[in-house]
Amino acid sequence: MYAFNPNAFSYSSLKTYESCPRKFAEVNVYRNFQDVFTSPKGDYGDRMHKAAEAYVKAAGELEAEFKFIKPILDTLRNISGEKRTEHKMGVKHDGTPTRWNDPERWFQGIADLTIVGDSPVARVVDYKAGDSKYADTDQLELMSLLIFAHYPHVKLVKGVLLFVLSEQVRKRTVDITEKDRLWQKYRERHAKVIASHAADNWPMKESGLCKKHCCVLSCAHNGR
C-alpha cells in the first residue's frame, strides 16, 4: 500500500510543491487526483526522449520527425566516456549513494544522458521539447550532485538543458567545491515540504495554469 514519505523528494516533486502545496498534497500525499499531462508537446517530448535514447545507445535510424536532432546526438555520441541513458541515481540524507527506490533514500533523479569516463569531468544532458524561456537549471545542479555521489573521481560536471525545437541550450557547470553549499540549499527547500506534512498545512497557490491545466478539480482556483 502506498504511503507518502515526506523525507524523500525528487526534482519534479519539489517543483510541484513550490508551485502549489495544495496540488502537491492532493496528488502526492492523499492521492485524490492523478496529474496526467495531456499536452501535445508532452506526448511529442516523450517520443523524442525515446528516439534520442535509442539513437545514443545504438546509432540506429531516427524517425523522419526527429532527424533534425541527429547532428546534436552525433556530437554527444562522439564525446569519450560511458554513456548511460535514463540513468537512475539516488542518495541518502548524508549524501552517500544508494540504489533506486531505497527506503532510506533522500533524493533521487533520472538523467536523460550521463557521460562519465576516467576523466574528472563528466557531462549530463536533459532534452527539452518546451520553451527555453522557462529553463530551470536546478535540475542540472541536482543531477550533478548525484554524479559526484556515485562517481567520486568526478570533480566537475558540465550540464546542458537541450531545447531541441528552438535549438537553444542552457548550461550549468557544477564544481565539486559547490557540493556542500548546493546540498544545503536543497535541504532548506525540502524542509518546507517536511514542515507542511508535519502541520498538515498545504496552502493553495494560484497561477495562470490553474483554470485549464490543474488536475485538482476540488480547488477553488480550478476552472474545470
**101-150 tens-digit pLDDT:** 999 999 999 999 999 999 999 999 999 887 777 789 999 999 999 999 99
pLDDT at 143: 98
Kindly indicate the confidence band of residue 9, based on its pLDDT and cuts at 50, 70 and 90. very high
The 10 Å CB-count burial string (b at 16+, else e) for 35-45 is eeeeeeeeebb
pLDDT at 60: 76
Residue 5 lies in a domain: no
The strand pair at 121-128 and 168-175 is best described as unpaired
157-182 pLDDT tens trace: 999 999 988 888 999 999 999 999 99
In this structure, what CATH number is given to the domain that contains residue 184? 3.90.320
Average pLDDT over residues 25-53: 81
**Residue with grid cell 496528488, as numbered in its chain:** 27
Kindly indicate the confidence band of residue 39, based on its pLDDT and cuts at 50, 70 and 90. low
| Percent of the residues in the chain that have a pLDDT greater than 70, as a whole number | 95
Residue 16 lies in a domain: yes
Integer-rounded Cα Rg, in Å, for the chain is 19
Residue 222 lies in a domain: no
3-class secondary structure per residue, the chain: CCCCCCCCECHHHHHHHHHCHHHHHHHHHCCCCCCCCCCHHHHHHHHHHHHHHHHHHHCCCCCHHHHHHHHHHHHHHCCCCEEEEEEEEEEECCCCEECCCCCCEEEEEEEEEEEECCCCEEEEEEEECCCHHHCCCHHHHHHHHHHHHHCCCCCEEEEEEEECCCCEEEEEEEEHHHHHHHHHHHHHHHHHHHHHHHHCCCCCCCCCCHHHHCCCCCCCCCCC
Residue 190 lies in a domain: yes
- Residue 42 in this model has a pLDDT that exceeds 70: no
Residue 50 lies in a domain: yes
Range of the domain at 74: 11-213
Residue 2 lies in a domain: no
Domain total of the chain: 1
Name which residue leads in pLDDT, 18 or 55.
18
pLDDT at 208: 82
Ranking 34-48, 92-106, 180-194 by mean pLDDT, the lowest is 34-48
pLDDT at 12: 94
Q: What is the pTM of this model?
A: 0.91
**64 Cβ neighbours under 8 A, 6+ residues apart:** none
Rounded Cα gap, residues 142 and 10, in angstroms: 9
Average pLDDT over residues 213-217: 86
Residue 82 lies in a domain: yes
Q: What are 26's three cell numbers?
A: 492532493
pLDDT at 217: 83
Alpha-carbon torsion angle 25, 27, 30, 32, nearest 10: 130
Kindly indicate the confidence band of residue 41, based on its pLDDT and cuts at 50, 70 and 90. low
**1 Cβ neighbours under 8 A, 6+ residues apart:** none
Residue 155 lies in a domain: yes
Kindly indicate the confidence band of residue 1, based on its pLDDT and cuts at 50, 70 and 90. low
60-100 pLDDT tens trace: 788 888 899 999 999 999 999 999 999 999 999 999 999 99
